[in-house]
Structure formats: structure tokens, C-alpha cells
């Protein structure tokens, strides 16, 4: 796929290189899908291993009308059909005023949509199926791109337990194991979090809770990985 310079995603191939921040999407892309909403130019997301909305934007943002997506990347296809704004606003999957009660605010089966936040914009992220995965080892690094420089009070990083099958099972809190809980981070644009797990094989979900520090704003991300 050719990259549209107006919609260039964050580069993730080298996690320590200088990154280009996504600002706004080109008018041509917006007209191509007949959208009236302006894409988010702030906030943030886990970009490596890619959260679902960001992964669909990264792979198809410049080619989102291509019918080949239905066969090549069916989970992204259903997400684009459900609500293209979820991918244009890949950095806006958050809830306000959760007060630290993440399990209360985000019921089982809705973890990847942040409890069906933003009037259900991200509901397709909860769809069970064979989402594209990022290969990882037992030791890997999460990369948060925080375009708005919100900072963080903390991150909680979970990984699904061995035996959970993301292709057939809806994600619930009981399917997750907390593997990393951090302290605070300053208001920088990019944050890396080292994670270590063991006893995982195949397709799993890395679930990240990011508690921003600028206000009571909580972000929720499902990143599909393959422990190969």
C-alpha cells in the first residue's frame, strides 16, 4: 500500500528512533468515505504492538476502500464497515472520570472498546476473531505514542492467560494476568514500557490501561500478539 503523506502513521519499526506525529488526515481521504467528523489530532495509543484501531489505520488508512481487505484482513474490514471514525480517531479510545474503577467502568466483553466508550464508536474492536498479530517474545516493549503529551499516572499491562483463544472467546477481566504496573511518566510524546511474561504460546491479547495525568482520563487498548 502506498502511504498518503497526509495520513502517515507513527513509525514503529525502530522503537528508539525519532517519530513523526500524526496530525490530521487529508481532505481527500475524508471525502473518499463521506465522513463529516474531523479526525483526532491529539490523545494517544499503543502503536507497537499495535492496538486494534491503530493497526487497522496503519495497514489500511491510505487504502481503506480496497475490497481486498475483506479477505486479507477481515477483522479490520468489519471494523471499517462498522465505523470508519474508529480508525481515523485511533488515538481517542478513552473514558473520563473513571476514578480508578476500571473493572466497574469496562464490563466483560467490552474491554477492547473501553466499555463501548465514545457512544459506541469503537464497538467493533470487541468483535471476536482472528485479528492480525504482532510477533513478540517473552520480553518485549510496549510503545505508547502520546501526541498530546498527557503524561501518565500509571500503566497497567495485562496479558491473556494461556489457554484463552482470542479467535473464539470474548475478552473478560478474568482472562487477564497483570504482568506490569508502572509509576508515573512525564509529559513526553513517546513512552516505552518493558514487559516480561512466560508460559505463553500463539495468539494472545496484551491489554493496556493508561491513566493519563492531565485529568481523570483512562485509555484502554487491545494489542494482538503472537508469542512465537
The range of the structural domain enclosing residue 194 comes to: 5-227
Measured distance CA(155)–CA(219) in Å, rounded: 10
Domain containing residue 122: CATH number: 2.70.50.50
Of the two residues 207 and 42, the one the predictor is more confident about is: 207
Contact (Cβ atoms closer than 8 angstroms) between residue 208 and residue 223: yes
- In the chain, % of residues over pLDDT 90: 80
What's 200's DSSP letter?
-
State pTM to two decimals.
Answer: 0.84
Per-residue pLDDT band for 23 (boundaries 50, 70, 90) equals very low
pLDDT tens-digit profile of 160-204?
A: 999 999 999 999 999 999 999 999 999 999 999 999 999 999 999
Nearest alpha-carbon partner for 157 in 197, 121, 123: 197
Query: Which cell numbers hold the place of 225?
Result: 500478539
Span 88-106, mean pLDDT?
97
For the chain, how many structural domains are there in total? Answer: 1
The model's pLDDT over 41-72, given as tens digits with 9 standing for 90+, comes to: 469 999 999 999 999 999 999 999 999 999 99
User: End-to-end distance of the chain based on CA atoms, in angstroms?
Assistant: 26
Q: How far is CA 10 from CA 34, 68, 99, 148, in A?
A: 24, 24, 30, 14
Residue 159 has pLDDT above 60, yes or no: yes
Amino acid at each position: 500500500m502506498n502511504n498518503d503523506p497526509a495520513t502517515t502513521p507513527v513509525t514503529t519499526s525502530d522503537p528508539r528512533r525519532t517519530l513523526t506525529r500524526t496530525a490530521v488526515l487529508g481532505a481527500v481521504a475524508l471525502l473518499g468515505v463521506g465522513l463529516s467528523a474531523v479526525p483526532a489530532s491529539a490523545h494517544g495509543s499503543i502503536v507497537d504492538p499495535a492496538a486494534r484501531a491503530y493497526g487497522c489505520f496503519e495497514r489500511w488508512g491510505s487504502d481503506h476502500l480496497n475490497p481486498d481487505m475483506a479477505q486479507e484482513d477481515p477483522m479490520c474490514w468489519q471494523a471499517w464497515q462498522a465505523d470508519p471514525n474508529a480508525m481515523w480517531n485511533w488515538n481517542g479510545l478513552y473514558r473520563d472520570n473513571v476514578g480508578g474503577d476500571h473493572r466497574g467502568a469496562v464490563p466483560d466483553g467490552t474491554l477492547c472498546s473501553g466499555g463501548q466508550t465514545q457512544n459506541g464508536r469503537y464497538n467493533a474492536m470487541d468483535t471476536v476473531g482472528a485479528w492480525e498479530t504482532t510477533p513478540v517474545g517473552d520480553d518485549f516493549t510496549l510503545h505508547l505514542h502520546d501526541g498530546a503529551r498527557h503524561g501518565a499516572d500509571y500503566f497497567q499491562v495485562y496479558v491473556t492467560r494461556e489457554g484463552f483463544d482470542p479467535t473464539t472467546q470474548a475478552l473478560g477481566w478474568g482472562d487477564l494476568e497483570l504482568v506490569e504496573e508502572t509509576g508515573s511518566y512525564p509529559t513526553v510524546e513517546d513512552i516505552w514500557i518493558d514487559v516480561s511474561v512466560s508460559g505463553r504460546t500463539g495468539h494472545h491479547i496484551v491489554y493496556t490501561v493508561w491513566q493519563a495525568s492531565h485529568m481523570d482520563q483512562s485509555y484502554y487498548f487491545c494489542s494482538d500478539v503472537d508469542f512465537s
